[in-house]
Amino acid sequence: MAGPVPLTASDPTRLGRWELLGRIGAGGQGAVYLGRPAEPGAGPSRVAVKLLHAQLVGDADARERFVREMAVLERVAGFCTAQMLAADVAGDRPYIVSEYVPGPSLRALVHDQGPRTGAALDRLAISSVTALSAIHRANVVHRDLKPQNVLMGPDGPRVIDFGIARAFDASATMTSQVVGTPAYMAPEQFTGRVGPSADLFAWASTLLFAATGRDPFAGGPLPAVMYRILHETPDLGALPGPLAEVAAACLAKEPQARPTSEDVLLWLLGESERHARLEIPTEHPTEDFAGPTAPVPRSASEGEPWPAPGPAVQSSPEQTPTWSGPPTSAPAPPSPEPAPGTGPAPGPAPAAGPAFGFAPGPAPAPASLPRSPRGVRTLRRGPAVVAGLLLAGVLAALDVAALAILIARPSLSEGHRGGLLPVVASSFAVVAVVTLVGVILAWRGSRAAAGTVMAARVARVAMWAAWGALVEIQPAALTGHALLTASVVLLLVRGLSRSPV
């Protein structure tokens, strides 16, 4: 790995209490320096200092992204990225100080040592998707995952450069300006729709690069790259069987067809047969990205040498351009290849290297996963569903206990109310049993059972209100039970809305 280069006259020598030793690299947002504490013993011996470019200091949007990167770094677990140590984003020279990871980027490693194979590829896949799971659990979507942004540290891969990352609401997909590196963007990113599933598409592309040394969708002008991403599937033959199945699912054109990062981790650990969340439907609609498939001309030969990468950096270097532009529709198929004898169109070879071979058409469905019949919707056991089902189960159990206590009261068995007591008791018992059975079936993935649980809880509140004609019921108790039931309904509705099609 190439080390830091000496500072130039235009580089600062100190920022705050940090002394700068050399330049590690630079990206579109800022330059990254190797630094150390100006006072010995005031911190780690080596740090990475990211300084916002001077020409962007007056740019409100650029400064806002820089501040957002700091906020994201504070949220993400330290084991999966270069942990933030200090920052000054309010001054004239905004900078962020983070842990220095002594290791090359994945792109530099593959260029120097060749593609990853065997156990090395397996370790990369599992450790990198573990880091991605931690990022998503922090409610952050990276939006620019690529080989340059994966540092191969001595203790495992670290995902870096959160300059365009965003915090996301677990109940919605973000809609924003189109940003990212085109060759590693998911199809929906070209229309400005971004969610955690876009990171899974980029993760699979990054994994394929690690196994082949080639960017799976790069090569040629931007419309050609977009067309490949929207309509073509890269050849996954370089990946071993299990990894090929995972990559095929993550490269699905529709975001809802992709597994989550946690699903992928369980899949790689051999849990696919035992975990209901991995029931990915066989077919998915593709209205948003439908279109004809056709071969895409390559703009560089397979034998063309690769460009040498720059030094490994802790911020995305400008080897592969990061694109920021307005949402766009799917591009038309690229023009056909030139006629024999006319030669290739003039122009520089793409910086990302030669184009990768493609097999037109959608990715084959992984054969080892349990499948859902076409049109069947399964219930994803996310946080909202888990909370709703547990609350419903606890309420049903409390209903049974409360019913036993009420029946034991002598006043209920006297007079005309005594004849109605068996009917009321049995009806409440039935509702409680239906709720508990529904909870069990919904936990196993049944959407219909979740609806039954909601209906049973609403019926329980209505029955209790009607029972007020026989037994004195405190209005506060009835109101509290109604609020708990409303919480169950809202949680389950939210979970149903986020379950895959």
pLDDT in tens, 192-222: 778 899 999 999 999 999 999 999 998 888 8
Treating both helix axes as pointing N-terminal to C-terminal, what angle do 196-212 and 261-268 enclose, rounded to 10 degrees?
40
8 A C-beta contact, residue 400 and residue 432: yes
Residues 60-76 pLDDT 10s: 888 888 887 787 778 78
What domains lie within the chain, and their CATH numbers? 14-99 (3.30.200.20), 106-300+311-339+350-360 (1.10.510.10), 383-497 (no CATH)
pLDDT of residue 457: 85
Q: Which amino acid is at 313?
A: V
- Six-digit token pair at 357? 């071979």
Q: Considering the entire predicted model, what is its pTM?
A: 0.56
Bridge partners for 48 per DSSP:
34, 98
| Direct distance between the N- and C-terminal alpha carbons of the chain, in angstroms, rounded to an integer | 45
8 A C-beta contact, residue 310 and residue 107: no
**What is the radius of gyration, based on Cα positions, of the chain?**
28
Identify the segments of the chain with pLDDT beneath 70. Answer: 1-2, 42, 163-180, 272-378, 403-424, 467-474, 498-501
Name residues whose C-beta falls within 8 Å of residue 86's C-beta, 6 or more positions apart in sequence: 16, 17, 18, 43, 96, 97
Active site residues: 144
